[in-house]
Amino acid sequence: MSPKKAKKRADGASSNVFSMFEQAQIQEFKEAFTIMDQNRDGFIDKNDLRDTFAALGRLNVKQEEIDDMLKEAPGPVNFTVFLTMFGEKLKGADPEETILNAFKVFDPEGTGTLKKDYVTEMLTTQADRFSAEEMEQMFVAFPPDVAGNLDYKNLVHIITHGEEKDQE
């Protein structure tokens, strides 16, 4: 097979992944990819993952854990590979489980809660930033406990079960 045909097949294979998501979702994945691609070379590598974990407050990540994450990819992790990997992970995934897993990244001890201040910092400084007004609305709807902890398991349950206006 000529290199041109191989390239066409590779392009065709990758274009399928873009049809799995809506444009807004692809944009969100692109923002996440850009945040993780710390050295801005278009690929997520070991150093990018380590830096991303450090930015999230996880400083003691084992090299083995990072290697295992990168082994899930068929090759270097560019945006198309990143999107494909998420597509495979999300295919058939319970939306509640998917959202919970996103919160669990910020909760390495598995307590089921996150500090209000930490949630505020993450949502107002990363990717699709929340405004002060949006944060206030969220905490009115989902108030933290007296110690300032947000019960994200309850929050996710309400998001996925309590307010399913579209499906009703």
Q: How confident is the model at residue 16 (pLDDT cuts 50, 70, 90)?
A: confident
Helix, strand, coil percentages, rounded to 5, for the chain:
60, 5, 35
87: three-class secondary structure by DSSP: helix
Mean pLDDT of 74-87: 91
pLDDT digits (tens, 9 = 90+) for 89-123: 766 666 788 888 888 888 888 899 999 999 899 88
Nearest to 18 by CA among 63, 83, 68, 90: 83
Delimit the CATH 1.10.238.10 region(s) of the chain: 18-90, 96-161
- pLDDT given at position 92: 62
Fold of 18-90: Recoverin; domain 1 (1.10.238)
Mean pLDDT of 29-49: 94
pLDDT digits (tens, 9 = 90+) for 115-153: 999 989 988 988 788 899 989 988 888 899 999 999 998
Strand partners, 113: 151
Q: Which of 2-6, 21-25, 118-122, 127-131 has the highest mean pLDDT?
A: 118-122
Q: Evaluate if pTM is beyond 0.75.
A: no
Tokens (6 digits) for 7: 């390239």
Residue with tokens 């991303």: 52
- pLDDT given at position 98: 81
How far apart are the C-alpha atoms of 146 and 55, rounded to whole Å?
A: 27
- Average pLDDT of the chain, as a whole number: 82
What lies within 8 Å, CB to CB, of 16 at 6+ separation is none
What lies within 8 Å, CB to CB, of 65 at 6+ separation is none
How far apart are the C-alpha atoms of 90 and 88, rounded to whole Å?
A: 6
Q: What is the dihedral sign for C-alpha 90, 13, 72, 59? A: negative
- pLDDT given at position 10: 40
Class of domain 96-161: mainly alpha
